[in-house]
Chains A and B, each alone.
Chain A
């Protein structure tokens, strides 16, 4: 519901802005100042996409705004007949290119570097523009001095158009957040491992987020130039970028209405501070520290939460709301067993595979040989238990298989394909799903949406058709949602589908990860300590889910400390000790192996 609260807020702001000329008729100074505010608010909405949704700190929104603005101004300088539409188009293209050029190198390293490189550009662009003849040096480019150029939109109509475009951009950012692309951006915000494990390529997703955020910035540049009739280095000083970041933080990063509210607050204050403008840095700096420390969700985020609605709860939609029928036959009594349900979500079973094979895998970190010459095979439809004391290399082996680390020696094959050396997301796409020792979830999303992040891979459609709610996108998203609900049902979480992930117990979070792993319809499933911290009832449920998974012909690699649980469901067991195979073979043999009993099983035998 709060999704609509936010959208309502955006609509209210739009109406309020549209009424400004009515309230203060004929006040051209006010109108002109507001034009400036509206153009920059577009930049803030864009910044929110990369920093608020995708969690990548960009500190140079002003740089891209400046590039877009100069592109528009140069267009008019050379083609006096250009109109606003053409200016916007050119700005959009140039700013998107600029975003890609900056993003490609900066995103290779990590978020930290993106922040610094973008901050650098915020400083650099005005300096370059101020020295370059083409951009008019320190005086910049004035459209007023181009006598042939006659703007077709002026005064109130231009103001109303700008308001309309700003609101449209904001609504688009709302649609984006609630689309599969938006969920992919939210996945990215939590680090590279989780998206890669679902087959999402982290790097290109980040780049896309950065380029998407450049579009509104370029549009803002075009509207700025058209309404203010000039572009100069002072139009985009480094401090402007910092104020735009402040606007987003104060309004609420990650919310839809936040950047709008924040930029109206900050920029209107800037515009109308009068003599106090020289001290603006002090006020906004202090406000920024206060918000970063105490109110990290910003005005809008904190208000939504105070109103009992978590800000990302806007993504929440109950099954009933979207009209997904509860899985058939749920009346008490004729409920299918968890085994059958788990099996059902994996049917039709993936084409016959050869399973997972690890041959002589080795990896050292510094002087520590974490994994040394380990062989292991997971046949389709069987459970392979991987046990060993803490630090014996189990999780490292899993990470090697997932493609998070490179092997020093050895080979890994999955489904007749050699996967070692492939990027993690490509490994995942061969049908290899996994869970994490510490569950990795998108905290602000509902359980259902967390699983939808994964099922979207099974029901593909173009990102654009999902964002714009085209028929194909709507169909694919509905199918993804239905499948997600089935997966939740298979692990017994269907009744919590619309609850938020960060409000759940440890056991539920672990189980949710399994539902998500099932959702990609894997050929092999790797579970990292799935039973840790589960209650007896939850353990029983987990056992049934694993039975259902193997019955569907999927292989399971199970890392677990609960030995009774492992020997209860594994066909084969491998014991690791200090990175080496201590024993490997059918569960019964390993269990009675003298060395294993002596060194490891001891108490249990």
Chain B
């Protein structure tokens, strides 16, 4: 029983890592209806920059955080300009952005691999103590708690942002109907840039927080992208709460799978979860089916 309890707690903590990645996806998706396949690679680059700033340059944590966010934001904006903006307004059926964001991810992953060189995946020092926290029979680490706290904070701030601010409404509205948004003086191009900027900030923050947990590993970009997608698909696209719920379910599903099946096949857990949820609720836990238009 305590094994299962531990798996669930660890699952929630790991889920927080996926949740941060999913939030970055979600922010971009909500405003542009673009599913940025390079998002995982952006997070991976953020983790590598954390490694470089903390382990190689030995910069203070705060400086490192700012550098990571800065680099990831810059990359995110470059991606928006090169690989996404030309496709906005070409109609929802145009899947060109799918290919161009995938290609952008491939380019930055290759560059990162060449820069990182032949090092094995290396740990990044955490500002927090490494000592485990014990509550009854359950153990976890301060860094995972920090990831969870960051996720909760980001979720709450995003919900407030979407509900309370003009910009939040504008971001949501643009994707709903570009023409109506344009009539109200909202520039879709500007919204797209803001969305990628915001997505970059969250991806950078996510990368910095998860770096001590996941190690500097150049090969993980694509699997971050996939896990983020599974979290969103399970929770329901476009819903912030959905992203949170989906990510936590994914983390727990993986840990429970590891406990009762074989950790080598952990990736299978995400696929199974995805297929089960899509069969029962095709639009995710918090998603809603959209009406067709002819």
- The answer to whether A282 touches B291 (Cβ under 8 A) is no
Q: Which residues of B contact A279 (CB under 8 A)?
A: 110, 114
Take A116-B233, A123-B222, A437-B294 as given contacts and tell me if A292 and B100 are in contact as well, using a CB distance cutoff of 8 Å. Answer: yes
- The answer to whether B294 touches A117 (Cβ under 8 A) is no
In the complex the two chains form, what is the Cα distance from A127 to B93 in whole Å? 32
Q: Which residues of B contact A124 (CB under 8 A)?
A: 267-268, 271
- The answer to whether B106 touches A285 (Cβ under 8 A) is yes
**Per-position binary interface string of chain A over residues 389-432, scored 1 when its CB falls under 8 Å from any chain B CB and 0 otherwise:** 00000010001000011000000000000000000000000000
**Per-position binary interface string of chain B over residues 252-294, scored 1 when its CB falls under 8 Å from any chain A CB and 0 otherwise:** 0000000000101101101100110011001000000001101
Taking CB as reference atom, which chain B residue is nearest A192?
B292
Q: How far is the CB of A257 from chain B (nearest CB, A)?
A: 20
In the complex the two chains form, what is the Cα distance from A436 to B226 in whole Å? 37
**Per-position binary interface string of chain A over residues 556-570, scored 1 when its CB falls under 8 Å from any chain B CB and 0 otherwise:** 000000000000000
Taking CB as reference atom, which chain B residue is nearest A122?
B222
Q: Which residues of A contact B89 (CB under 8 A)?
A: none
Check: A236 CB closer than 8 A to any chain B CB: no
Choose one: B95, B100, B114, B223; the contact of A288 (CB below 8 Å): B100
Most buried by A among B106, B226, B229, B265: B106
Check: B83 CB closer than 8 A to any chain A CB: yes
- CB contacts under 8 Å to A, within B83-114, are 83, 86-87, 93, 95-96, 98-100, 102-107, 109-111, 113-114
Check: A120 CB closer than 8 A to any chain B CB: yes
Q: How far is the CB of B42 from chain A (nearest CB, A)?
A: 14
- The answer to whether A191 touches B93 (Cβ under 8 A) is yes
- The answer to whether A123 touches B291 (Cβ under 8 A) is no
Q: How many A-B residue pairs have CB under 8 A?
A: 121
Q: Which residues of B contact A296 (CB under 8 A)?
A: 96
Check: B82 CB closer than 8 A to any chain A CB: yes
Check: B35 CB closer than 8 A to any chain A CB: yes
Q: Which residues of A contact B114 (CB under 8 A)?
A: 278-279
- The answer to whether A404 touches B294 (Cβ under 8 A) is yes
Check: A193 CB closer than 8 A to any chain B CB: yes
Q: How far is the CB of B87 from chain A (nearest CB, A)?
A: 8
- CB contacts under 8 Å to A, within B32-65, are 35, 37
Check: A119 CB closer than 8 A to any chain B CB: yes
- CB contacts under 8 Å to B, within A275-289, are 278-282, 284-286, 288-289
Q: How far is the CB of B104 from chain A (nearest CB, A)?
A: 7
Q: Which residues of B contact A238 (CB under 8 A)?
A: 222
- The answer to whether B294 touches A127 (Cβ under 8 A) is no
- The answer to whether A120 touches B271 (Cβ under 8 A) is yes
- CB contacts under 8 Å to B, within A82-109, are 105, 108-109
In the complex the two chains form, what is the Cα distance from A281 to B107 in whole Å? 6
Taking CB as reference atom, which chain B residue is nearest A291?
B99
Q: Which residues of A contact B282 (CB under 8 A)?
A: 108-109
In the complex the two chains form, what is the Cα distance from A426 to B268 in whole Å? 37
Choose one: A116, A288, A395; the contact of B294 (CB below 8 Å): A395
Check: A113 CB closer than 8 A to any chain B CB: yes
Number of interface residues of A (CB under 8 A): 50
Q: Which residues of B contact A116 (CB under 8 A)?
A: 35, 226, 229, 233
Take A120-B271, A292-B96 as given contacts and tell me if A282 and B233 are in contact as well, using a CB distance cutoff of 8 Å. Answer: no
- The answer to whether A59 touches B223 (Cβ under 8 A) is no
Taking CB as reference atom, which chain A residue is nearest B83?
A289
For the complex of A and B, the 10 pairs showing the least CB-CB separation, nearest first, are A281-B110, A285-B107, A288-B103, A131-B264, A285-B106, A285-B103, A292-B99, A292-B100, A292-B96, A289-B103
Binding site for B on A (CB under 8 A): 57, 59, 105, 108-109, 111-113, 115-117, 119-121, 123-124, 127-128, 131, 190-191, 193, 238-239, 242, 245-246, 249, 278-282, 284-286, 288-289, 292-293, 296, 365, 395, 399, 404-405, 436-438, 440
Q: Besides the contacts A123-B223, A292-B103, A399-B292, what 11 more A-B pairs have beta carbons closer than 8 Å?
A: A108-B279, A116-B35, A116-B233, A117-B274, A119-B102, A128-B268, A249-B99, A281-B109, A288-B102, A289-B82, A437-B294
Binding site for A on B (CB under 8 A): 35, 37, 82-83, 86-87, 93, 95-96, 98-100, 102-107, 109-111, 113-114, 222-223, 225-226, 229-230, 233, 262, 264-265, 267-268, 270-271, 274-275, 278-279, 282, 291-292, 294
Could you list 23 examples of A-B contacts with CB < 8 Å? Answer: A57-B98, A109-B282, A111-B95, A113-B233, A113-B278, A120-B271, A124-B267, A127-B267, A128-B265, A128-B267, A131-B264, A131-B265, A278-B114, A280-B110, A285-B103, A285-B104, A288-B99, A288-B103, A293-B87, A365-B291, A437-B294, A438-B294, A440-B294
